[in-house]
Amino acid sequence: MNKSVYELGKADVAWCPGCGNFTIWKGLKEILAEMKINPQELVMVSGIGQAAKIPHYIRCNVFNGLHGRALPAATGIKTANPELVVIAESGDGDMYGEGGNHFIHTIRRNPDITNIVHNNMIYGLTKGQASPTSQQGFITPVQVNGVILEPFNPLTVAIALNASFVARTSTVDTDRMKMILKEAIQNPGYSLVDIFQPCVSFNKVNTYKWFKESTYYLEDSHNPENKFDAFARASETNKLPLGIFYRNTHKKSFEQSLSVYQEDKTPIVNRRVDLRKLEEFIKK
Amino acid sequence: MVKKEDISIVLCGPAGQGIKTAEKIMVSIFKKAGYNVFATKEYMSRIRGGSNSTSIRVSSKPIRALVDRMDILIPLDSQALHHVESRITSETIIIGEKEKLVEKKQNHNYMIFDVSLTKLAKEAGGVIYANMVVVGIIAELLNLDRSLVYSYVEDIFSKKEKEIVSQNINAIDLGYKTSSELDLDLRINIQPKKTAKIKEQIMINGGEAVSMGAVAGGCNFIASYPMTPSTSVLTFLAQQGKRFNIVAEQAEDEIAAINMTLGAWYAGARGMVTTSGGGFALMTEGLSLAAMLETPLVIHLAQRPGPATGLPTRTEQGDLLFALHAGHGEFPRIIFTPGTLEDGFYLTQKAFNLADKFQIPVLILTDQYFIDSYYNIPAFDFSEIQNKKYMVKTNKDYQRYALTKNGISPRGIPGNGDGMVVVDSDEHDYDGHITENLAIRSKMVDKRWQKMNEMVQEALPPEIIGPQESETLVICWGSTVNMVKEALHHINQNKTALLYFKQVYPLPSQTLPILKRAKKLIIVENNATAQFAQILKTQFNLDIPAKILTYRGQTFSVEELEKKLRKVIL
């Protein structure tokens, strides 16, 4: 499949020149084409923020909902029609801050969706306040004496909750980023891909150069099926590892576990209520 | 002495004593025997202790409303007696353990028939069977065929051990025996007439009516967070999920619930949420989203007294204006306020179709009293039940928000056709993509409101119950309807009718002429500020000076309303 099927042609892209979003955008379209996913069968769900605008620049079905609420909407979509490919994509503030509770419980619920999080450690659209992943001491117009809060570590949280697939990558190495995204989409359960990405307008600390120098890829010998190893590696702060940290291959997806899909795989959206059956039931 | 054809039985005791089970059994067997039955309960927000009560009416004629009167009271402890004290009269027959109920020295003129429920229960197999002894006593008083009681009890406990079933039966037998040894006059005087066709009727409560209506409306998705008194709808749909192809999910919070449900509708399902005031407050962001996306949505809002946590297990009609104005921004919606079980069923079914047709949120406003009240009604008529399919197959150039004459853009779903279904919480263009083109913004606002024309045309008119050209109209909405109806029946004044609103927004154009025709308007509401009167004032500049309100956490009893109505009508 040619990646041009995902091109809208007329999109007025709202990102700053040099933004890491461009790399993710391009890479995503390429792997979707490589995976031969029909745009008609793909639903991109997002919240609010600059990253959350990405569905508007891809030719596919789009549910651009509220700030922080992409994951529940994505869960509803996938449950109603498991034949759709569902990607929930937004920024760190949206997924980990406003949507923190949904992040926790969507991991527990484990719908077969891919959760891509653009992590630039800052709020861009509201012009430069701290995000949940901002590092301590990071000075902003609101956090005037530097961030006090412990940074949110999405990887350790996801691993602790036995997420089906947990990975982190960065826009520095496009090929590895694409490879990981592909595996995440293929994984039959909730998959988290946290992507480090520079905000060229507001984050003068965590720059492209900073990400390049402060990260490294996990060795091939890392066994993602070992939860304790995964947790230890995800906890590292000296230099930040990238790669697939954790996989839980034993999990059934949420929709697979639902009683309505035990005997009949037909999506509920293609079924009709049996009124006669209801009438009989009520009389009984 | 007890009235012959309409008996009110009250069972009161601490939580955890099986009052609810006894209620369920009694309403079912009385109905099976051919009596008209009504039951409602009031309970405390606790799992054990306190005082909960259920009021059951058994009658020759259809009855559907709460009365204060207690012909027979069965208090399980002294606290229970105290709890319903204000309803005890010299004619109330109290059956219970005299020693436990009143202190020897206490000066009282209660008519107590001393029955040691605990002793009898122990004899049957354990103290937990006290509720079944009570079932036996009442069944005997009503002259019920014992085999009917047995078969029902065997049926509901069919999954339990044989011993448990036989102990329940023992308890019932002991109840029968005890009752037959009570004063004979008492038994003779309570004989409502049985009607054969009642046996064919159904016995459900408001929660079941709404749930069944949802299934009938094609609901196949519900996500909610448990909150009294709305939870029974989630429970029902979860339990019947496999039978009727429904996904029922308990969400982490109400915000997740409403967003999941919107996702489900977007993908082509028919979804609902069920909640109460505080939960609905959390959902208002999602309600506003539904409006912007023009994604259909059905919300069941079972009211309880607020503000904040308020009285979690009690009843009020205090969220009407909140439901009307909830959500940021301006957008159309429909609000149904069913007051009868039939309306609970038919309007919920309709809600799914209207939400789908107009691509708007439809709210079904009930309350604890409605949800927890049972009575027998004829089985629902399915001949008129239809679920229209409004979704279209998309073509290559599909535009989710294409402009149309009536404001309704054909709604596609992902995966069905060659088009892309794009929806956005931002203001959007015809394709659904984010826009800041202010000319398009105005067109989109107009488009969303354009739907109001047809919504008003299709709005359900208020029901006039009583003489059509009455000088006096008693206005009510939702669950108070049956009390007002019975009170007016007692008053029996041929110039007064009841005007019952089952849809409070939008109001159809017939509303004003009906109101203007009357010389005197009286409004009855279970809130402190006459919220529906405020809506009528805003919409029609119409004042209703006579307001009958209550907001103590209970609804009106028939007697209370009769008294208050007499004062303003006569």
According to DSSP, the residues that pair with B422 across neighbouring strands are A62
Cα separation, B476 vs B454, in Å, equals 25
Which of A66, A79, A101 lies closest to B425 in CB terms?
Answer: A66
| Eight-state DSSP code of residue A98 | I
8 A C-beta contact, residue B351 and residue B362: yes
Mean pLDDT on A58-70: 98
With beta carbons under 8 A apart, name residues in chain B contacting A84.
Answer: 267, 414-415
With beta carbons under 8 A apart, name residues in chain A contacting B252.
Answer: 101-102, 104-105
Cα separation, B182 vs B137, in Å, equals 10
* Whether the predicted pLDDT of A63 surpasses 60: yes
Q: Distances from the Cα of B486 to the Cαs of A119, B190, B198, B501, in angstroms?
A: 64, 21, 20, 17
Closest by CA position to B234, among listed B214, B252, B218 = B214
- pLDDT of res. B189: 66
Beta strands in B130-220 (DSSP E): 202-205
pLDDT digits (tens, 9 = 90+) for A77-107: 999 999 999 999 999 999 999 999 999 999 9
CA distance B165 to chain A (A): 22
Q: Do A73 and B432 touch (CB under 8 A)?
A: no
**What sign does the CA torsion over B226, B230, B231, B234 have?**
negative
With beta carbons under 8 A apart, name residues in chain A contacting B240.
Answer: 281
CA angle B53, B58, B60 (to 5 degrees): 165
ipTM above 0.90, yes or no: yes
Task: State both tokens at B132.
Answer: 């079944």
Name the more confident of B99 and B262.
B262
* Whether the predicted pLDDT of A220 surpasses 60: yes
- Tell me which residue has tokens 């969507």: A106
Name the more confident of A131 and B46.
A131
Q: Distances from the Cα of B529 to the Cαs of B260, B319, B323, B559, B562, in angstroms?
A: 34, 11, 15, 22, 21
**pTM flag (> 0.80):** yes
- pLDDT of res. B186: 62
Band of pLDDT at residue B188, cut at 50, 70 and 90: low
The 3-state DSSP class for residue B155 equals helix
Closest by CA position to A61, among listed B268, B444, B360 = B268
CA distance A213 to chain B (A): 36
8 A C-beta contact, residue B13 and residue B19: yes
8 A C-beta contact, residue B408 and residue B451: yes
Which of A66, A80, A271 lies closest to B267 in CB terms?
Answer: A80
Cα separation, B196 vs B290, in Å, equals 48
Q: How far is CA B412 from the centre of its chain?
A: 34
Which of B215, B257, B423 lies closest to A63 in CB terms?
Answer: B423
Q: Distances from the Cα of A183 to the Cαs of A15, A188, A191, A243, in angstroms?
A: 27, 10, 9, 11
Strands A165-170 and A85-91: unpaired
* Whether the predicted pLDDT of B1 surpasses 60: no
With beta carbons under 8 A apart, name residues in chain A contacting B273.
Answer: none
Q: Do A75 and B387 touch (CB under 8 A)?
A: no
With beta carbons under 8 A apart, name residues in chain B contacting A258.
Answer: 247
Strands B503-505 and B496-501: unpaired
pLDDT digits (tens, 9 = 90+) for B502-524: 999 999 999 999 999 999 999 99
Q: What is the mean pLDDT of chain B?
A: 95
| Eight-state DSSP code of residue B47 | S
Other CB atoms within 10 Å distance of the CB of residue B166: 14
Domains of chain B: 2-200 (3.40.920.10), 204-377 (3.40.50.970), 391-458 (no CATH), 463-569 (3.40.50.920)
- How many CB pairs (< 8 A) connect A and B? 195
* Whether the predicted pLDDT of B9 surpasses 80: yes
Run of H or E residues at B21: helix B19-33
Residues recorded for chain B: 570
With beta carbons under 8 A apart, name residues in chain B contacting A65.
Answer: 259, 262, 289, 293, 425
Provide the Cα torsion B190, B193, B195, B199; round to 10°: 10
Burial A168-195 (b: 16+ CB within 10 A, else e): bbbbbbeeebbbbbbbbbebebbbbbbb
The 3-state DSSP class for residue B499 equals strand
8 A C-beta contact, residue B342 and residue B380: yes
Band of pLDDT at residue B184, cut at 50, 70 and 90: low
Name the more confident of B135 and B493.
B135
| Eight-state DSSP code of residue A99 | T
CA angle B408, B412, B417 (to 5 degrees): 145
Query: What percentage of chain B has pLDDT greater than the value 90?
Result: 88
Nearest residue in chain A measured CA to CA from B386: A275
* Whether the predicted pLDDT of B20 surpasses 50: yes
CA distance A91 to chain B (A): 16
Q: Helices (DSSP H) in chain A: which residue ranges?
A: 20-34, 70-80, 92, 100-109, 154-160, 174-186, 208-214, 227-235, 254-257, 275-283
Mean pLDDT on A205-225: 97
Which of B251, B285, B413 lies closest to A269 in CB terms?
Answer: B413
pLDDT digits (tens, 9 = 90+) for B278-320: 999 999 999 999 999 999 999 999 999 999 999 999 999 999 9
Which of A56, A62, A69 lies closest to B259 in CB terms?
Answer: A69
- pLDDT of res. B2: 47
Annotate B400-424 with DSSP letters as a single string. Answer: TT---TTS-PPEEEEEEESS--EEE
- Tell me which residue has tokens 């995000």: A131
With beta carbons under 8 A apart, name residues in chain A contacting B260.
Answer: 72-73, 75-76, 79
Mean pLDDT on B428-457: 97
| Eight-state DSSP code of residue A170 | E
Q: Do B220 and A72 touch (CB under 8 A)?
A: no
- Tell me which residue has tokens 């294409």: B402
Q: Do B266 and A62 touch (CB under 8 A)?
A: no
Closest by CA position to A107, among listed A144, A75, A134, A63 = A75
Q: Which amino acid, residue B151?
A: S
Nearest residue in chain A measured CA to CA from B377: A283
Cα separation, B461 vs B149, in Å, equals 43
According to DSSP, the residues that pair with A244 across neighbouring strands are A167
Mean pLDDT on A194-217: 96
CA distance A62 to chain B (A): 4
Q: Which amino acid, residue B167?
A: Q
Task: State both tokens at A284.
Answer: 């009984």
* Whether the predicted pLDDT of B82 surpasses 60: yes
Q: Do B263 and A53 touch (CB under 8 A)?
A: no
Q: Do B264 and A79 touch (CB under 8 A)?
A: yes
| Eight-state DSSP code of residue B385 | -
pLDDT digits (tens, 9 = 90+) for B544-558: 999 999 999 999 999
* Whether the predicted pLDDT of B530 surpasses 60: yes
Band of pLDDT at residue A249, cut at 50, 70 and 90: confident
Which of B285, B380, B421 lies closest to A61 in CB terms?
Answer: B421
Q: Helices (DSSP H) in A5-56: which residue ranges?
A: 20-34
With beta carbons under 8 A apart, name residues in chain A contacting B433.
Answer: 11, 56, 62
CA distance B555 to chain A (A): 28
